[in-house]
């Protein structure tokens, strides 16, 4: 039978068909956020949203926001290492 597919392939196809693949990837990012950036940053992160290839972060602490602005390339590298190459290109910190 040539039409046989694994469950993983079927679920992936279903998610793509219904436009849910991006949301699943976003949930994976949120669940791994603390491992990527550490507990201090994770505790101060109020919200995470991915739109296209831009990561939007809402941070509670003004000094931490300023510090993260300097570390954008490192965060992008860590996120892309965990999520796949070119998952995000930019970070917006609010």
Question: What pLDDT score was predicted for residue 78?
Answer: 95
pLDDT of amino acid 94: 94
CA geometry: angle 42, 55, 81, nearest 5 deg = 75
Predicted pLDDT of residue 2? 72
Q: What is the mean pLDDT of each run of 10 residues along the chain (94 residues)?
A: 83 87 90 95 96 95 95 96 94 96
Within the chain, residue ranges assigned H as helices are 7-17, 21-37, 39-44, 62-70, 72-83
The pTM assigned to this predicted structure is 0.83
Q: What is the pLDDT at residue 76?
A: 96
Question: What's the pLDDT at 51?
Answer: 94
DSSP 8-class letter at 60: S
pLDDT at 1: 57
């Amino acid at each position: 039978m040539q039409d046989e597919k694994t469950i993983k392939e079927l679920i992936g196809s279903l998610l793509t068909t219904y436009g849910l693949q991006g949301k699943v990837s976003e949930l994976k990012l949120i669940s791994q956020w603390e491992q990527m950036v550490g507990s201090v940053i994770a505790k101060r992160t109020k919200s995470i949203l991915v739109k296209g290839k831009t990561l939007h972060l809402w941070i509670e602490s003004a000094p931490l926001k300023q510090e993260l602005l300097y570390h954008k390339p490192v965060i992008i590298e860590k996120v892309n290492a965990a999520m796949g190459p070119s998952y995000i290109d930019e970070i917006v910190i609010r």
